Structure 1
Amino acid sequence: MLELSNGLLLYHGSYCEVKKPDIERCAKNKDFGQGFYLTSSKEQAVSFLKTSIIKAVADRSILREQDFGYISIFEINLIKDIEINIFKTANEEWLHCIAAHRKKHSFNKVEMEMLKYDVIVGKIADDTTNAVLTAYIAGVFGEIGSKEADEFCIKQLLPNRLKNQYCFKTDKSLECIKFIGSEKIWLKR
């Protein structure tokens, strides 16, 4: 069950240790918009780490020879007046939120609604599901937002197998996470 509670440990995989996240440095157009993404799955964080290294080599942030990254570990300590939206399952509302952030103006009302949240929690559409989401957004399954296209897309994603993600979207939300350490991870080549 997806939750956000005090003491919960969350992980972030990257080519570098991240002690103090900066929203401005976070990518836009991700599943829940611009923000600092964490997961409760260490395994998922390791897979993000690999992707982060590939991107960092491509944009010349690191040398091609770097064969390690870091799992930064954070602990949740919720503060007052934090607005949180939790998608408990991968349903139409979740799908429209992801589509709204990946393709501007596809779901304007959803995009505007999500602006009021400091933290958004839900299932992750990762590299293995990206092709399905891209096809959905392109209209391959029918008109984006139609009941038929939504149902078909969600069925293809196998929602019960999806991991989770926690997106901290505001500087205020970053006050809820405390860096408690990191682990250096060596990649197998």
Structure 2
Amino acid sequence: MKVFHGSTAEIQYPLANIGRENLDFGKGFYVTDIYNQAERWASVMMLRRPGTIATINIYELNIEKISSANYRSLHFDGYGNDWLDFIVDSRRGKKPWLGYDLIEGGVANDRIFDTIENYIEGQITKEVALGRLQYEQPNNQICLLNQQLIDECLSFEQSITLK
């Protein structure tokens, strides 16, 4: 499976334990199978870090090897109840991602951020939040949480500098 990582640098050797812990799926290396999503993220990162260049890193993720090696993975289909509970727990610092090697599912991006925050703050019920989320088409993210999985199953192909 071809996957992409939007950044401000070429990353030939990704690391699993870099970044913030309270992200959607924890402290890992995030990729997506949606090129445009990586492109948007690279542009956002470039704006946050003046003087840098938006870069798309392209990798091959060996899904068959991940399955046959019995890595522990979790997959969320859409913005459902389990996904919402997981995201909220992550944001509250509960680390629900511990024990997983790979987690795949929708991105808690700007389109749905307010719904999640309103739910966390108790301004809306879970049912209202899920009702709003059902109309959103999730982007896809894959969080690689295990360095051995990255080393064995993720192969750098190239990077593209955006103009």
Q: TM-score w.r.t. structure 2 length?
A: 0.88
1:74 — aligned with what? 59
Map of 2:83 onto structure 1 = 94
Distance 1:150 1:173, change over 3 A: farther
- 1:60 aligns with none
Q: Per the alignment, do residues 20 and 89 of structure 1 end up closer, same or farther by CA in structure 2, a change over 3 Å counting?
A: same
Distance 1:139 1:72 in 2: 39
% identity of equivalent residues: 27
Q: Is 1:152 matched with 2:141?
A: no
The Cα of 1:131 is off from its aligned counterpart by 1.8
Determine if contact 2:78/2:138 at 8 Å carries over to the other structure. no
Matches within 5 A, 1:113-152: 114-141=97-124, 149-152=125-128
SS of the aligned residue for 1:13 comes to strand
The aligned counterpart of 1:52 is 45
| 1:135-154 C-alpha deviation (Å, 9 max, x unpaired) | 1111110xxxxxxx222112
What residue is the counterpart of 1:170 in the other structure? 146
Gaps of 5+ in 1: 1-7, 58-62, 106-110, 142-148
Asked whether 1:30 is paired with 2:45, we answer: no
**Cα deviation code 1:34-85 (max 9, x no counterpart):** 111111111111111122123333xxxxx2xx4x311101111234131111
Shift of 1:26: 2.3
Distance, in Å, in 1 between the alignment partners of 2:12 and 2:85 is 32
Deviation at 1:134, TM superposition (A): 1.5
Partners of 1:89 and 1:159 within 8 A in 2: no
Whether the 8 Å contact between 1:118 and 1:172 is mirrored in structure 2 is no
Distance (Å, rounded) in 2 between the aligned partners of 1:28 and 1:115: 10
Structure 2 CA distance, aligned partners of 1:20 and 1:155?
40
In the TM superposition, what whole-angstrom CA distance separates every residue of 1:125-184 from its partner, at most 9, and x where no partner exists? 11222122111111110xxxxxxx222112223455111110001212213211111111
Post-superposition shift, 1:23? 2.3
Q: Which runs of 5+ in 2 are unaligned?
A: none
RMSD of aligned alpha carbons: 1.7
Computing the radius of gyration over CA atoms, which structure comes out larger, 1 or 2? 1
Using the TM superposition, name which of 158-167 and 33-42 deviates more: 158-167
Q: TM-score, normalised by structure 1?
A: 0.77
Query: What number of residue pairs does the alignment pair up?
Result: 158
Matches within 5 A, 1:7-46: 8-46=1-39
Any idea what SS the aligned residue of 1:128 has?
A: helix
Whether contact under 8 Å (2:78, 2:137) holds in the other structure is no
